[in-house]
């Protein structure tokens, strides 16, 4: 059997244990429920005579032993079974790790990779136990992710560097366990950037540290201590303290109003977007009509000063027409005044529109 096939067999046994545990637990609960439903036998009257009672005791036969199917089920622990399985593999010496690492890197030996992985499965369990207080759910999930990190460490391990394999593999194991915890902490991921991943594990610890030192853990102080922005501090604090809520869920059990109806948004509605486009098209047409009413000098000032992304200076226009800067400013102001009056005549309810790009 090749190393990959043997490793696959171990994983297959691991999942079998989980399934068997679920079935045993279901059967145990069913037996308990059935035993409670049975009525307790009534005690015989104490008025029987002593002799007859003794005679009856002698005639009582021992109850037959229950079959194996009726006997109480022993609780099945997949974790203990897994620990028992991995304890069969021997630990490796430093020299053996280097030798096996060379075979994996130089020859691609799957048997050597299998030995490296199986010999360090207990290391994965040790590291997973350190994160159990954070995860507080099924420890086998952390062990499973840690095993994936261990296999990745075998592929990346460089035996020619003076680094112990268990020390090198611990970083890969922790990385995969941490990623699993962050991806499954909430239904929606809470750590997508490097700063958020840093805050996920350090925010609460740093807040408690500041409280112990007598400081108020404000976002500004936390951002200075952790090297992230205040906005990231506030966002992560809200994510850690809150829980996933469905936007389609009703506000109350007897209400048809959904939460999404009260969710604000910065995006303009479809009606506002359509109205804005219609207003822009109307203004464009009216500006074209207004240009026909201006003199050549006014039109030039309008194009160079009012309607330009890079407006010319008052001095440049004044030198072109031989007038002062103040006169150019007066002409510009007069054009804007005429344009406003024109729009008020041509566009209904023009005063209600804001942000149309016309200013004094």
Do 255 and 293 belong to one domain? no
- DSSP count for the chain of H helices, then E strands: 16, 0
- Strand positions, DSSP E, the chain: none
CATH number of the CATH domain containing 331:
1.10.10.10
Do 129 and 10 belong to one domain? yes
Do 302 and 215 belong to one domain? no
Q: Does the pLDDT value for residue 152 go beyond 90?
A: yes
Do 225 and 285 belong to one domain? no
CATH number of the CATH domain containing 81:
1.20.120.1810
Q: Does the pLDDT value for residue 126 go beyond 60?
A: yes
Per cent of the chain over pLDDT 90 is: 16
On whether residue 340 sits in a domain, the answer given is: yes
Do 12 and 161 belong to one domain? yes
Domain boundary among 184, 207, 242: 184
| 302-347: pLDDT as tens digits | 888 888 888 889 898 888 888 998 998 998 999 988 888 888 888 7
Domain boundary among 264, 283, 316: 264
On whether residue 66 sits in a domain, the answer given is: no
| Residues in CB range of 243: below 8 A, 6 or more apart | 186
| 127-149: pLDDT as tens digits | 999 888 777 778 899 999 999 99
Count of structural domains, the chain: 3
Identify the CA nearest to 233 among candidates 258, 210, 249.
Answer: 210
From the centroid of its chain, how far is CA 43?
Answer: 61
Do 284 and 320 belong to one domain? yes
| 178-193: pLDDT as tens digits | 888 877 776 666 656 6
On whether residue 63 sits in a domain, the answer given is: no
Q: Is 220 exposed, middle or buried (0-12, 13-18, 19+ CB in 10 A)?
A: exposed
Do 22 and 120 belong to one domain? yes
On whether residue 65 sits in a domain, the answer given is: no
| Token output for 241 | 């303290």
Do 180 and 198 belong to one domain? no
Largest CA distance in the chain: 143
Do 130 and 14 belong to one domain? yes
On whether residue 23 sits in a domain, the answer given is: yes
On whether residue 258 sits in a domain, the answer given is: yes
Domain boundary among 247, 264, 281: 264
Do 298 and 198 belong to one domain? no
pLDDT of residue 308: 83
From the centroid of its chain, how far is CA 109?
Answer: 37
Do 292 and 179 belong to one domain? no
From the centroid of its chain, how far is CA 80?
Answer: 31
On whether residue 160 sits in a domain, the answer given is: yes
**CA 272 → CA 161, 267, 279, 350, 360, distances in Å?**
64, 10, 10, 16, 26
Tell me the backbone φ, ψ of residue 67, rounded to 5 degrees: -70, 170
Tell me the backbone φ, ψ of residue 344, rounded to 5 degrees: -65, -35
| 9-66: pLDDT as tens digits | 555 555 554 555 555 555 555 655 565 555 444 444 444 343 443 344 344 343 444 4
The confidence band for 212, taking pLDDT boundaries of 50, 70 and 90, is confident
pLDDT of residue 67: 45
On whether residue 289 sits in a domain, the answer given is: yes
| Distance (Å, whole) CA 187 – CA 242 | 12
Q: Where in the sequence is the domain holding 10, given as residue range(s)? A: 3-30+73-184
| 266-289: pLDDT as tens digits | 777 788 888 888 888 888 888 888
């Amino acid at each position: 059997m090749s190393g990959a096939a043997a490793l696959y067999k171990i994983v297959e046994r691991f999942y079998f244990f989980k399934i068997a545990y679920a079935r045993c637990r279901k059967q145990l609960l069913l037996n308990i429920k059935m035993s409670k439903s049975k009525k307790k036998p009534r005690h015989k009257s104490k008025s029987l005579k002593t002799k007859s009672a003794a005679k009856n005791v002698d005639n009582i036969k021992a109850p037959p032993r229950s079959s194996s199917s009726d006997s109480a089920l022993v609780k099945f622990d997949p974790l203990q079974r897994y620990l028992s399985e991995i304890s069969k593999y021997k630990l490796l010496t430093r020299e053996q790790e280097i030798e096996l690492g060379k075979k994996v890197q130089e020859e691609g030996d799957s048997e050597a990779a299998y030995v490296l992985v199986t010999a360090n499965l207990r290391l994965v369990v040790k590291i997973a136990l350190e994160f159990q207080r954070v995860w507080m759910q099924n420890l086998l999930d952390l062990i499973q992710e840690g095993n994936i990190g261990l296999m990745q460490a075998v592929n990346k391990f460089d035996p020619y560097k003076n680094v112990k394999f268990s020390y090198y593999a611990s970083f890969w194991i922790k990385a995969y366990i941490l990623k699993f915890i962050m991806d499954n902490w909430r239904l929606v991921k809470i750590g997508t950037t490097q700063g958020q991943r840093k805050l996920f594990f350090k925010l609460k610890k740093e807040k408690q540290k500041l409280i112990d030192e007598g400081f108020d853990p404000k976002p500004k102080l936390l951002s200075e201590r952790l090297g992230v922005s205040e906005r990231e501090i506030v966002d992560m604090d809200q994510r850690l303290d809150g829980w996933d809520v469905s936007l389609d869920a009703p506000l109350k059990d007897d209400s048809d109003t959904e939460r999404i109806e009260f969710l604000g948004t910065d995006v303009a509605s479809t009606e506002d977007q359509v109205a804005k486009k219609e207003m822009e098209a109307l203004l464009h047409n009216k500006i074209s009509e207004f240009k026909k009413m201006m003199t050549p000098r006014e039109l030039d000032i309008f194009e160079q000063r009012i309607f330009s992304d890079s407006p010319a200076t008052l001095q440049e226009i004044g030198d072109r027409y031989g007038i002062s800067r103040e006169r150019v400013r007066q002409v510009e102001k007069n054009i804007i005044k005429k344009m406003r009056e024109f729009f008020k005549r041509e566009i209904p309810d023009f005063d209600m529109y804001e942000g149309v790009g016309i200013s004094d």
